[in-house]
Amino acid sequence: MAFVGLFEVFLPLVCFLLLYCLRDKYHGPPKSFPLVGMMPQFLSNIPRLHDWFTDTLEICHCTFLFKGFAKTNVLVTCDPSNIHYIMSSNFNNFPKGPGFKQIFDILGDGIFNVDMDLWRKQRIAAQGFMRHQLFYRFLSRTTGAKVEEGLIPLLDHVAKQGLVVNLEDVFQRFAFDATCILVTGYDPKCLSVEFPDVPFSKAMDDAAEVMFYRHITPQSFIKLQRWMNMGEEKKYRKAWEVLDHIMVQYICQKRKDLNQGMISETVDGGVDLLTSYILEEKSCDVKFLRDTILNMMLAGRDTTSSALTWFIWLVSRHPIVENKIIEELQSIIPAEETKKRRLFNAKEVKNLVYLHGALCEALRLYPPVPFQHKEPLKPDTLPSGHPIHPTTKIVFSLYSMGRMKSVWGEDCFEFKPERWITEKGGIKHEPSYKFMSFNAGPRTCLGKDVAFLQMKAVASAIIYNYRIHVLGETPVVPTVSIILRTKDGLMTKISPRWD
Protein backbone atom coordinates (compact mmCIF):
# COMPACT_ATOMS: atom_id res chain seq x y z
CA MET A 1 0.00 0.00 0.00
CA ALA A 2 2.90 2.33 0.71
CA PHE A 3 4.11 1.79 -2.86
CA VAL A 4 0.65 2.68 -4.23
CA GLY A 5 0.56 5.85 -2.12
CA LEU A 6 4.01 6.91 -3.33
CA PHE A 7 3.03 6.20 -6.94
CA GLU A 8 -0.13 8.35 -6.56
CA VAL A 9 2.00 11.26 -5.40
CA PHE A 10 4.78 10.73 -7.93
CA LEU A 11 2.60 10.37 -11.05
CA PRO A 12 0.91 13.81 -10.80
CA LEU A 13 4.34 15.39 -10.25
CA VAL A 14 5.72 13.78 -13.42
CA CYS A 15 2.61 14.77 -15.40
CA PHE A 16 2.84 18.36 -14.14
CA LEU A 17 6.49 18.64 -15.11
CA LEU A 18 5.81 17.02 -18.47
CA LEU A 19 3.04 19.50 -19.27
CA TYR A 20 5.25 22.33 -18.06
CA CYS A 21 8.04 21.31 -20.44
CA LEU A 22 5.64 20.98 -23.35
CA ARG A 23 4.50 24.59 -22.77
CA ASP A 24 7.98 25.88 -22.11
CA LYS A 25 9.61 28.12 -24.72
CA TYR A 26 13.13 27.61 -23.38
CA HIS A 27 15.58 26.57 -26.10
CA GLY A 28 18.75 25.94 -24.09
CA PRO A 29 20.10 22.64 -22.73
CA PRO A 30 17.51 20.33 -21.12
CA LYS A 31 16.36 21.42 -17.67
CA SER A 32 16.96 19.07 -14.76
CA PHE A 33 14.20 18.82 -12.15
CA PRO A 34 14.31 17.27 -8.66
CA LEU A 35 13.76 13.49 -8.59
CA VAL A 36 12.99 13.14 -12.31
CA GLY A 37 16.00 14.95 -13.79
CA MET A 38 15.60 15.63 -17.52
CA MET A 39 13.07 12.82 -18.04
CA PRO A 40 10.05 15.09 -18.74
CA GLN A 41 11.70 16.64 -21.79
CA PHE A 42 13.07 13.25 -22.82
CA LEU A 43 9.63 11.62 -22.66
CA SER A 44 7.90 14.47 -24.46
CA ASN A 45 10.42 14.18 -27.31
CA ILE A 46 10.44 10.39 -27.76
CA PRO A 47 8.67 10.51 -31.18
CA ARG A 48 11.55 12.68 -32.47
CA LEU A 49 14.24 11.49 -30.08
CA HIS A 50 17.13 11.42 -32.57
CA ASP A 51 16.43 14.99 -33.67
CA TRP A 52 15.99 16.14 -30.08
CA PHE A 53 19.43 14.76 -29.22
CA THR A 54 20.79 16.47 -32.33
CA ASP A 55 19.32 19.85 -31.36
CA THR A 56 20.60 19.49 -27.81
CA LEU A 57 24.10 18.40 -28.86
CA GLU A 58 24.33 21.34 -31.27
CA ILE A 59 23.51 23.74 -28.42
CA CYS A 60 25.91 21.97 -26.02
CA HIS A 61 28.86 21.79 -28.44
CA CYS A 62 28.56 18.04 -29.11
CA THR A 63 28.47 16.78 -25.48
CA PHE A 64 26.05 17.07 -22.55
CA LEU A 65 25.28 15.24 -19.30
CA PHE A 66 21.79 13.76 -19.28
CA LYS A 67 20.32 13.39 -15.78
CA GLY A 68 17.58 10.83 -15.31
CA PHE A 69 15.66 9.27 -12.44
CA ALA A 70 17.42 8.81 -9.11
CA LYS A 71 20.64 10.61 -10.10
CA THR A 72 21.21 8.39 -13.13
CA ASN A 73 23.83 10.12 -15.28
CA VAL A 74 24.38 9.49 -19.00
CA LEU A 75 27.01 11.43 -20.92
CA VAL A 76 25.73 11.91 -24.47
CA THR A 77 28.34 12.86 -27.07
CA CYS A 78 29.02 13.07 -30.78
CA ASP A 79 32.37 14.84 -30.41
CA PRO A 80 34.92 13.10 -32.69
CA SER A 81 37.74 13.76 -30.22
CA ASN A 82 35.81 12.02 -27.44
CA ILE A 83 34.92 9.10 -29.69
CA HIS A 84 38.52 8.70 -30.86
CA TYR A 85 39.70 8.73 -27.24
CA ILE A 86 37.10 6.15 -26.14
CA MET A 87 37.26 3.86 -29.18
CA SER A 88 41.01 3.99 -29.86
CA SER A 89 43.36 5.95 -27.59
CA ASN A 90 42.06 4.58 -24.29
CA PHE A 91 40.13 1.59 -25.65
CA ASN A 92 40.79 -0.76 -22.71
CA ASN A 93 39.09 1.58 -20.22
CA PHE A 94 35.84 1.62 -22.18
CA PRO A 95 34.30 -1.84 -22.63
CA LYS A 96 30.64 -2.24 -23.50
CA GLY A 97 30.17 -3.23 -19.88
CA PRO A 98 27.72 -5.43 -17.96
CA GLY A 99 24.83 -3.06 -18.66
CA PHE A 100 25.13 -3.68 -22.40
CA LYS A 101 25.20 -7.46 -21.97
CA GLN A 102 22.21 -7.27 -19.66
CA ILE A 103 20.14 -5.46 -22.31
CA PHE A 104 21.33 -7.65 -25.19
CA ASP A 105 21.45 -10.93 -23.27
CA ILE A 106 19.80 -12.79 -26.15
CA LEU A 107 23.12 -12.43 -28.02
CA GLY A 108 24.81 -14.61 -25.40
CA ASP A 109 28.61 -14.60 -25.60
CA GLY A 110 28.72 -13.57 -29.26
CA ILE A 111 31.27 -11.13 -30.63
CA PHE A 112 29.07 -8.03 -30.24
CA ASN A 113 28.25 -8.79 -26.63
CA VAL A 114 31.62 -9.57 -25.04
CA ASP A 115 34.77 -7.67 -24.07
CA MET A 116 38.46 -8.21 -23.43
CA ASP A 117 40.07 -11.60 -24.20
CA LEU A 118 36.86 -13.37 -25.19
CA TRP A 119 36.13 -10.63 -27.74
CA ARG A 120 39.70 -10.67 -29.11
CA LYS A 121 39.64 -14.44 -29.61
CA GLN A 122 36.35 -14.32 -31.47
CA ARG A 123 37.39 -11.36 -33.61
CA ILE A 124 40.60 -13.09 -34.74
CA ALA A 125 38.63 -16.20 -35.75
CA ALA A 126 35.89 -14.26 -37.56
CA GLN A 127 38.44 -12.05 -39.31
CA GLY A 128 40.30 -15.08 -40.61
CA PHE A 129 37.15 -16.64 -42.06
CA MET A 130 35.68 -13.44 -43.54
CA ARG A 131 38.91 -12.38 -45.23
CA HIS A 132 39.50 -15.76 -46.81
CA GLN A 133 39.23 -15.89 -50.59
CA LEU A 134 36.75 -18.78 -50.39
CA PHE A 135 34.34 -16.66 -48.34
CA TYR A 136 34.61 -13.69 -50.71
CA ARG A 137 33.94 -15.99 -53.65
CA PHE A 138 30.90 -17.39 -51.86
CA LEU A 139 29.71 -13.84 -51.03
CA SER A 140 29.98 -12.63 -54.64
CA ARG A 141 28.26 -15.67 -56.09
CA THR A 142 25.36 -15.85 -53.63
CA THR A 143 24.71 -12.10 -53.63
CA GLY A 144 24.52 -12.03 -57.43
CA ALA A 145 22.19 -15.02 -57.43
CA LYS A 146 19.88 -13.50 -54.81
CA VAL A 147 19.62 -10.26 -56.81
CA GLU A 148 18.97 -12.05 -60.11
CA GLU A 149 16.72 -14.86 -58.85
CA GLY A 150 14.99 -13.12 -55.94
CA LEU A 151 15.01 -9.33 -56.08
CA ILE A 152 14.54 -8.76 -59.82
CA PRO A 153 11.60 -11.19 -60.26
CA LEU A 154 9.86 -9.58 -57.26
CA LEU A 155 10.36 -6.04 -58.59
CA ASP A 156 9.23 -7.09 -62.08
CA HIS A 157 6.08 -8.61 -60.58
CA VAL A 158 5.33 -5.48 -58.57
CA ALA A 159 5.94 -3.22 -61.58
CA LYS A 160 3.82 -5.35 -63.94
CA GLN A 161 0.90 -5.50 -61.52
CA GLY A 162 1.13 -1.80 -60.67
CA LEU A 163 1.30 -2.61 -56.96
CA VAL A 164 2.38 -0.40 -54.08
CA VAL A 165 5.25 -2.09 -52.26
CA ASN A 166 7.09 -1.36 -49.03
CA LEU A 167 10.71 -1.32 -50.22
CA GLU A 168 11.95 -1.39 -46.64
CA ASP A 169 10.28 -4.78 -46.23
CA VAL A 170 11.78 -5.93 -49.55
CA PHE A 171 15.27 -4.91 -48.42
CA GLN A 172 14.83 -6.65 -45.07
CA ARG A 173 13.82 -9.83 -46.89
CA PHE A 174 16.77 -9.57 -49.26
CA ALA A 175 19.22 -8.92 -46.43
CA PHE A 176 17.76 -11.72 -44.32
CA ASP A 177 18.07 -14.28 -47.12
CA ALA A 178 21.55 -13.09 -48.15
CA THR A 179 22.84 -13.05 -44.57
CA CYS A 180 21.32 -16.44 -43.74
CA ILE A 181 23.03 -17.95 -46.79
CA LEU A 182 26.39 -16.40 -45.87
CA VAL A 183 26.20 -17.41 -42.23
CA THR A 184 24.49 -20.82 -42.40
CA GLY A 185 24.57 -21.83 -46.06
CA TYR A 186 20.76 -22.21 -46.15
CA ASP A 187 18.33 -19.99 -48.04
CA PRO A 188 15.04 -19.32 -46.16
CA LYS A 189 13.59 -17.81 -49.40
CA CYS A 190 11.98 -14.94 -47.59
CA LEU A 191 12.32 -12.76 -50.73
CA SER A 192 9.56 -13.87 -53.11
CA VAL A 193 6.38 -12.51 -54.68
CA GLU A 194 4.31 -14.36 -52.04
CA PHE A 195 5.93 -12.29 -49.23
CA PRO A 196 5.85 -15.31 -46.88
CA ASP A 197 5.90 -15.06 -43.10
CA VAL A 198 9.27 -16.15 -41.72
CA PRO A 199 9.26 -17.01 -37.98
CA PHE A 200 13.02 -16.44 -37.61
CA SER A 201 12.81 -12.93 -39.07
CA LYS A 202 9.70 -12.07 -37.03
CA ALA A 203 11.42 -13.25 -33.83
CA MET A 204 14.45 -11.07 -34.59
CA ASP A 205 12.16 -8.05 -35.04
CA ASP A 206 10.38 -8.73 -31.76
CA ALA A 207 13.65 -9.15 -29.89
CA ALA A 208 15.07 -5.90 -31.33
CA GLU A 209 11.93 -4.03 -30.30
CA VAL A 210 12.19 -5.22 -26.72
CA MET A 211 15.93 -4.49 -26.56
CA PHE A 212 15.20 -0.84 -27.32
CA TYR A 213 12.38 -0.85 -24.78
CA ARG A 214 14.90 -2.02 -22.17
CA HIS A 215 17.02 1.11 -22.77
CA ILE A 216 14.28 3.42 -21.46
CA THR A 217 12.62 1.20 -18.83
CA PRO A 218 13.67 0.99 -15.15
CA GLN A 219 15.51 -2.25 -14.43
CA SER A 220 13.15 -3.04 -11.55
CA PHE A 221 10.14 -2.99 -13.90
CA ILE A 222 11.94 -5.19 -16.43
CA LYS A 223 12.68 -7.72 -13.69
CA LEU A 224 9.04 -7.64 -12.59
CA GLN A 225 7.82 -8.29 -16.15
CA ARG A 226 10.32 -11.11 -16.54
CA TRP A 227 9.33 -12.70 -13.23
CA MET A 228 5.61 -12.49 -14.09
CA ASN A 229 6.21 -13.46 -17.74
CA MET A 230 4.16 -10.54 -19.04
CA GLY A 231 4.36 -7.56 -21.37
CA GLU A 232 7.50 -6.92 -23.39
CA GLU A 233 9.52 -9.52 -21.51
CA LYS A 234 6.98 -12.23 -22.42
CA LYS A 235 7.36 -11.27 -26.10
CA TYR A 236 11.14 -11.38 -25.66
CA ARG A 237 11.08 -14.86 -24.13
CA LYS A 238 8.94 -16.20 -26.98
CA ALA A 239 11.27 -14.65 -29.57
CA TRP A 240 14.27 -16.20 -27.80
CA GLU A 241 12.64 -19.66 -27.89
CA VAL A 242 11.91 -19.37 -31.63
CA LEU A 243 15.46 -18.23 -32.44
CA ASP A 244 17.04 -20.99 -30.34
CA HIS A 245 14.87 -23.69 -31.92
CA ILE A 246 15.66 -22.64 -35.50
CA MET A 247 19.38 -22.10 -34.91
CA VAL A 248 19.81 -25.50 -33.29
CA GLN A 249 18.12 -27.00 -36.37
CA TYR A 250 20.61 -25.17 -38.64
CA ILE A 251 23.57 -26.38 -36.58
CA CYS A 252 22.41 -30.00 -36.42
CA GLN A 253 21.62 -30.07 -40.14
CA LYS A 254 25.02 -28.55 -41.00
CA ARG A 255 26.88 -31.15 -38.94
CA LYS A 256 24.82 -33.90 -40.55
CA ASP A 257 25.61 -32.55 -44.04
CA LEU A 258 29.30 -32.34 -43.22
CA ASN A 259 29.37 -35.87 -41.83
CA GLN A 260 27.73 -37.14 -45.02
CA GLY A 261 30.19 -35.24 -47.22
CA MET A 262 27.48 -33.08 -48.79
CA ILE A 263 29.39 -29.79 -48.37
CA SER A 264 32.62 -30.74 -50.13
CA GLU A 265 31.03 -30.38 -53.55
CA THR A 266 30.48 -26.64 -53.03
CA VAL A 267 33.88 -25.75 -51.55
CA ASP A 268 35.26 -24.53 -54.89
CA GLY A 269 32.49 -21.93 -54.93
CA GLY A 270 33.24 -20.86 -51.37
CA VAL A 271 31.83 -21.81 -47.99
CA ASP A 272 29.49 -20.27 -45.43
CA LEU A 273 30.68 -19.17 -41.99
CA LEU A 274 28.97 -21.96 -40.05
CA THR A 275 30.77 -24.56 -42.15
CA SER A 276 34.06 -22.74 -41.57
CA TYR A 277 33.58 -22.65 -37.81
CA ILE A 278 32.63 -26.33 -37.55
CA LEU A 279 35.52 -27.46 -39.77
CA GLU A 280 38.21 -25.22 -38.28
CA GLU A 281 37.15 -24.75 -34.66
CA LYS A 282 36.87 -28.38 -33.60
CA SER A 283 35.93 -27.56 -30.02
CA CYS A 284 32.86 -25.47 -30.97
CA ASP A 285 29.82 -26.44 -28.90
CA VAL A 286 26.21 -25.72 -29.80
CA LYS A 287 26.00 -22.62 -27.59
CA PHE A 288 29.08 -21.02 -29.16
CA LEU A 289 27.75 -21.69 -32.67
CA ARG A 290 24.29 -20.45 -31.69
CA ASP A 291 25.68 -17.18 -30.26
CA THR A 292 27.93 -16.67 -33.29
CA ILE A 293 25.11 -17.25 -35.78
CA LEU A 294 22.68 -14.90 -34.03
CA ASN A 295 25.21 -12.08 -33.67
CA MET A 296 26.08 -12.19 -37.36
CA MET A 297 22.46 -12.59 -38.47
CA LEU A 298 21.38 -9.54 -36.48
CA ALA A 299 24.28 -7.44 -37.76
CA GLY A 300 24.01 -8.50 -41.40
CA ARG A 301 20.27 -8.30 -41.87
CA ASP A 302 19.26 -5.12 -40.08
CA THR A 303 22.15 -2.84 -40.97
CA THR A 304 22.20 -3.56 -44.71
CA SER A 305 18.43 -3.26 -45.10
CA SER A 306 18.36 0.01 -43.16
CA ALA A 307 21.17 1.49 -45.25
CA LEU A 308 19.49 0.51 -48.53
CA THR A 309 16.14 1.95 -47.44
CA TRP A 310 17.51 5.40 -46.65
CA PHE A 311 19.81 5.37 -49.69
CA ILE A 312 16.98 4.67 -52.16
CA TRP A 313 14.76 7.25 -50.46
CA LEU A 314 17.46 9.92 -50.67
CA VAL A 315 18.26 9.14 -54.30
CA SER A 316 14.54 9.29 -55.19
CA ARG A 317 14.49 12.85 -53.82
CA HIS A 318 17.61 13.91 -55.72
CA PRO A 319 17.22 13.23 -59.47
CA ILE A 320 20.60 14.82 -60.23
CA VAL A 321 22.30 12.23 -58.01
CA GLU A 322 20.24 9.47 -59.62
CA ASN A 323 21.32 10.56 -63.11
CA LYS A 324 24.98 10.70 -62.11
CA ILE A 325 24.81 7.14 -60.75
CA ILE A 326 23.21 5.93 -64.01
CA GLU A 327 25.86 7.74 -66.06
CA GLU A 328 28.61 6.16 -63.99
CA LEU A 329 27.10 2.69 -64.48
CA GLN A 330 26.81 3.28 -68.22
CA SER A 331 30.46 4.32 -68.35
CA ILE A 332 31.63 0.80 -67.50
CA ILE A 333 29.61 -1.08 -70.13
CA PRO A 334 29.79 -1.14 -73.96
CA ALA A 335 27.79 1.61 -75.69
CA GLU A 336 25.50 -0.89 -77.42
CA GLU A 337 24.43 -2.27 -74.01
CA THR A 338 23.31 1.06 -72.56
CA LYS A 339 19.63 1.85 -72.16
CA LYS A 340 18.86 -1.83 -71.78
CA ARG A 341 18.12 -3.95 -68.73
CA ARG A 342 21.33 -5.08 -67.14
CA LEU A 343 22.74 -6.42 -63.88
CA PHE A 344 26.23 -5.60 -62.62
CA ASN A 345 28.56 -8.05 -60.91
CA ALA A 346 30.73 -7.36 -57.88
CA LYS A 347 33.87 -6.61 -59.88
CA GLU A 348 32.09 -4.09 -62.12
CA VAL A 349 30.71 -1.95 -59.28
CA LYS A 350 33.50 -2.38 -56.73
CA ASN A 351 35.48 0.72 -57.73
CA LEU A 352 32.65 3.05 -58.81
CA VAL A 353 33.46 6.32 -57.05
CA TYR A 354 30.16 8.22 -57.25
CA LEU A 355 28.03 5.22 -56.23
CA HIS A 356 30.34 4.60 -53.28
CA GLY A 357 30.16 8.27 -52.29
CA ALA A 358 26.36 8.28 -52.46
CA LEU A 359 26.18 5.21 -50.20
CA CYS A 360 28.58 6.78 -47.69
CA GLU A 361 26.54 9.99 -47.71
CA ALA A 362 23.36 8.05 -46.94
CA LEU A 363 25.17 6.23 -44.12
CA ARG A 364 26.41 9.57 -42.74
CA LEU A 365 22.90 11.01 -42.52
CA TYR A 366 21.11 7.79 -41.57
CA PRO A 367 23.52 5.39 -39.81
CA PRO A 368 21.85 1.96 -39.40
CA VAL A 369 22.88 1.84 -35.73
CA PRO A 370 21.97 5.37 -34.54
CA PHE A 371 23.57 5.15 -31.10
CA GLN A 372 26.07 3.13 -29.07
CA HIS A 373 26.97 3.04 -25.40
CA LYS A 374 30.00 2.35 -23.24
CA GLU A 375 30.84 2.11 -19.54
CA PRO A 376 34.23 3.28 -18.16
CA LEU A 377 36.15 0.95 -15.87
CA LYS A 378 38.05 3.75 -14.12
CA PRO A 379 37.47 7.50 -13.61
CA ASP A 380 38.70 9.56 -16.52
CA THR A 381 38.39 12.92 -18.23
CA LEU A 382 37.40 13.14 -21.89
CA PRO A 383 39.11 15.49 -24.37
CA SER A 384 36.01 17.72 -24.19
CA GLY A 385 36.81 18.27 -20.49
CA HIS A 386 33.93 16.22 -19.12
CA PRO A 387 34.83 14.01 -16.12
CA ILE A 388 33.43 10.49 -16.09
CA HIS A 389 33.16 7.75 -13.49
CA PRO A 390 32.36 4.00 -13.57
CA THR A 391 28.76 4.90 -12.66
CA THR A 392 28.45 7.10 -15.78
CA LYS A 393 27.07 5.57 -18.94
CA ILE A 394 28.36 7.04 -22.21
CA VAL A 395 26.14 7.22 -25.28
CA PHE A 396 27.39 8.09 -28.77
CA SER A 397 24.76 9.60 -31.06
CA LEU A 398 25.90 8.59 -34.53
CA TYR A 399 22.74 10.11 -36.03
CA SER A 400 23.59 13.48 -34.48
CA MET A 401 27.25 13.34 -35.52
CA GLY A 402 26.26 13.39 -39.18
CA ARG A 403 24.30 16.57 -38.53
CA MET A 404 26.90 18.59 -36.63
CA LYS A 405 28.06 21.72 -38.46
CA SER A 406 31.27 21.67 -36.43
CA VAL A 407 32.04 18.19 -37.81
CA TRP A 408 30.72 18.24 -41.39
CA GLY A 409 30.33 21.93 -42.21
CA GLU A 410 27.40 24.27 -42.78
CA ASP A 411 25.94 21.97 -45.45
CA CYS A 412 25.81 18.95 -43.12
CA PHE A 413 22.06 18.42 -43.65
CA GLU A 414 22.44 18.21 -47.43
CA PHE A 415 22.75 14.94 -49.35
CA LYS A 416 25.98 15.53 -51.28
CA PRO A 417 27.88 12.46 -52.56
CA GLU A 418 30.55 14.87 -53.84
CA ARG A 419 31.85 15.36 -50.30
CA TRP A 420 33.24 11.81 -50.57
CA ILE A 421 35.19 12.46 -53.79
CA THR A 422 38.70 13.91 -53.90
CA GLU A 423 39.84 16.62 -56.29
CA LYS A 424 41.53 13.92 -58.36
CA GLY A 425 38.30 11.94 -58.64
CA GLY A 426 39.07 9.22 -56.12
CA ILE A 427 37.20 8.07 -53.02
CA LYS A 428 37.79 10.35 -50.04
CA HIS A 429 38.33 8.44 -46.81
CA GLU A 430 37.13 10.01 -43.57
CA PRO A 431 38.45 8.88 -40.16
CA SER A 432 36.21 6.32 -38.50
CA TYR A 433 35.73 8.45 -35.36
CA LYS A 434 34.09 11.07 -37.64
CA PHE A 435 32.22 8.61 -39.88
CA MET A 436 31.27 5.86 -37.46
CA SER A 437 28.71 3.83 -39.41
CA PHE A 438 31.11 0.87 -39.33
CA ASN A 439 32.30 1.54 -35.78
CA ALA A 440 35.82 2.69 -34.98
CA GLY A 441 39.15 1.56 -33.54
CA PRO A 442 39.74 -2.11 -32.67
CA ARG A 443 36.00 -2.80 -32.95
CA THR A 444 35.74 -1.60 -36.56
CA CYS A 445 33.09 -3.69 -38.32
CA LEU A 446 34.43 -6.87 -39.91
CA GLY A 447 31.49 -6.93 -42.31
CA LYS A 448 32.16 -3.55 -43.93
CA ASP A 449 33.28 -5.03 -47.26
CA VAL A 450 30.38 -7.50 -47.19
CA ALA A 451 27.91 -4.66 -46.65
CA PHE A 452 29.30 -2.51 -49.47
CA LEU A 453 29.31 -5.42 -51.92
CA GLN A 454 25.67 -6.25 -51.14
CA MET A 455 24.54 -2.62 -51.16
CA LYS A 456 26.24 -1.89 -54.48
CA ALA A 457 24.74 -5.00 -56.07
CA VAL A 458 21.21 -4.01 -55.00
CA ALA A 459 21.60 -0.26 -55.59
CA SER A 460 22.97 -0.67 -59.12
CA ALA A 461 20.25 -3.18 -60.07
CA ILE A 462 17.41 -0.98 -58.82
CA ILE A 463 18.60 2.45 -59.95
CA TYR A 464 19.73 1.32 -63.39
CA ASN A 465 16.68 -0.80 -64.23
CA TYR A 466 13.74 0.87 -62.45
CA ARG A 467 12.17 4.21 -61.64
CA ILE A 468 11.22 4.51 -57.99
CA HIS A 469 8.19 6.66 -57.10
CA VAL A 470 7.96 7.14 -53.33
CA LEU A 471 4.36 7.88 -52.31
CA GLY A 472 3.95 11.20 -50.58
CA GLU A 473 0.91 10.36 -48.45
CA THR A 474 3.01 9.08 -45.54
CA PRO A 475 6.10 11.04 -44.41
CA VAL A 476 9.32 9.03 -44.38
CA VAL A 477 10.75 9.61 -40.90
CA PRO A 478 12.96 7.48 -38.64
CA THR A 479 11.44 5.46 -35.86
CA VAL A 480 13.05 5.23 -32.43
CA SER A 481 14.75 1.84 -32.25
CA ILE A 482 18.16 0.19 -31.93
CA ILE A 483 18.14 0.05 -35.76
CA LEU A 484 17.31 3.18 -37.77
CA ARG A 485 14.20 2.07 -39.64
CA THR A 486 11.38 4.19 -41.05
CA LYS A 487 8.28 4.75 -38.96
CA ASP A 488 5.76 3.62 -41.59
CA GLY A 489 7.86 1.93 -44.27
CA LEU A 490 9.06 3.13 -47.68
CA MET A 491 5.87 2.86 -49.73
CA THR A 492 6.64 3.03 -53.44
CA LYS A 493 5.45 2.29 -56.96
CA ILE A 494 7.98 0.90 -59.40
CA SER A 495 8.17 1.11 -63.18
CA PRO A 496 10.78 -0.19 -65.68
CA ARG A 497 13.38 2.35 -66.73
CA TRP A 498 14.04 0.77 -70.13
CA ASP A 499 11.11 -0.44 -72.22
Q: 5-20, pLDDT tens digit by residue?
A: 444 445 445 544 554 5
| pLDDT score for 12 | 44
Q: Are strands 466-470 and 491-496 parallel, antiparallel or unpaired?
A: antiparallel
Q: Which residue has the higher pLDDT, 474 or 183?
A: 183
User: What is the tally of structural domains in the chain?
Assistant: 1
Minimal CA–CA distance to 394: which of 413, 410, 412, 379?
Answer: 379
Average pLDDT over residues 202-208: 90
| Domain extent for 324 | 45-496
What DSSP character marks residue 70?
G
CB 128 within 8 A of CB 256: no
Cα–Cα distance between 188 and 181 in angstroms, integer?
8
Q: pLDDT (tens digit, 9 = 90+) per residue, 385-406? A: 999 999 899 999 999 999 999 9
For residue 272, being part of any structural domain is answered with: yes
Query: What pLDDT shows up at residue 8?
Result: 41
> In this predicted structure, what is the pLDDT of residue 25?
47
pLDDT tens digits, one per residue of 18-55:
545 444 444 567 887 877 788 888 888 888 889 999 99
Nearest-angstrom CA–CA distance, 90 and 72: 24
What is the gyration radius of the CA atoms in the chain, in angstroms? 24
Residue 20 lies in a domain: no
Mean pLDDT of 85-89: 95
Q: What is the mean pLDDT of residues 88-92?
A: 94
CA 484/CA 365 separation, integer angstroms: 11
pLDDT for the residue numbered 26: 47
Query: Does some domain include residue 31?
Result: no
DSSP state of 31: P
Residue 14 forms part of a structural domain:
no
**Bridge partners (DSSP) listed for residue 478:** 486
299 band by pLDDT with thresholds 50, 70 and 90: confident
Whether 484 maps to a domain, the answer reads yes
Mean pLDDT, rounded, of the chain:
89
Q: Is the pLDDT higher at 281 or at 279?
A: 279
pTM of the entire structure? 0.91
Residue 373 included in any domain: yes
Q: What is the CATH number of the domain that holds 248?
A: 1.10.630.10
Cα separation, 106 vs 101, whole angstroms: 9
- The answer to the question of residue 337 being in a domain is yes
Indicate whether 300 pLDDT > 90.
Answer: no
- Interatomic CA distance for residues 312 and 151, integer angstroms: 15
pLDDT of the residue at 1: 42
- Comparing 199 with 264, which gets the higher pLDDT? 199
Band the pLDDT of 196: cuts 50, 70, 90: very high
**Residue 21 marked ligand-binding:** no
Q: Work out the end-to-end distance of the chain between its first and last CA atoms, rounded to an integer number of angstroms.
A: 73
Express each pLDDT in 406-425 by its tens digit.
999 999 999 999 999 999 99
Report yes or no on 228 lying in a domain: yes
Geometric angle at alpha carbon 200, from 197 and 201, rounded to 5°: 65
pLDDT score at 71: 65
Answer whether 457's CB lies under 8 Å from 147's CB. yes
Task: Report the C-alpha gap between 434 and 87 in whole angstroms.
Answer: 12
